Amino acid sequence: MPPSRKSTSTHYDSSSSSNYSSSYRDRTNRKMTWFDWLVRVPVAIAVLGFMFFFLISKGTLDVSEAKKVLAKIPEIPSMLAQEKEKRESKAAAYEETAKQDSYYVAALGRSCDWDARHECYYDVKTDCYFWYNNTTKTHTWQYWYEGISSDYGDFGWMEYDTKEKTWYIEVSDGYWTELPERYDRSRLWHIE
C-alpha cells in the first residue's frame, strides 16, 4: 500500500533543470569585433537562412513547397489556440476525477473505486493505486504498483511518459529515474 505522503514532483519537473557554466557567461559578456561583424554574422545569417528554407520546403528545397508552408503562417495562431483548448479541456476532465467516487480506466475496461484512506483510486486486480497529481507544474497521473513501488519505501510513485513510452519511478524526494529493467512491465497500465 502506498505511503501516506504523495509525490510532490514529477519526472517532467526534474528533467528541465538548466546548468550554465561560467565559461558560457564569460562569452556572452564579450563585445563584437570587426571580424564578428564582417565574417561570423553574415555566415550565421546565411546558414540560418538556408536551414529555414530547408525546413519550410520540407527538405525538398523547392520554392513552391516553401510558398505553401509560408501561406499557412496566418493559420498558426488559431491552430495553437485550438491545441491549447484541447490541453485545457483534457486537464479539466482529469481535474474532475477528484470529485468522483470511481473512475473508468479504458486501458482496463473497468472502473476503479476511490480509496479515501489513501486518497487515490485503487484497482484490485492489478494491485495499483493511482491519482492525478495536480499539485505540480506538470499535472500527470501517478501510479503505485505493489511489488514495484513498495521496493522504494516512502517513495516509489511511478509515471508513464507517453512521448518516450517509458515508465519512470521516484527513487528519492524529487529524484526520478527510468524504471529498472528487472521489473515486469506486462501488468503495468496507464491512463491516456
Coil vs helix vs strand at 72: coil
Determine the longest span between alpha carbons in the chain, in angstroms.
71
What span, in angstroms and rounded, lies between the C-alpha atoms of 20 and 188?
38
- Does residue 149 form part of some domain? yes
Look at residues 34, 54, 71 and tell me which one is the last residue of a structural domain: 71
8-47: per-residue pLDDT in tens? 777 776 654 444 344 444 555 678 888 888 999 999 999 9
- Is the same domain home to 41 and 99? no
| 3 has pLDDT over 80 | no
105 and 183 part of one domain: yes
Residues 78-88 have pLDDT tens digits of 888 998 888 88
Domain ends where: 71, 96, 128? 71
How many domains does one find in the chain?
2
In a domain, 3, yes or no: no
In a domain, 66, yes or no: yes
For residue 65, give its domain range: 22-71
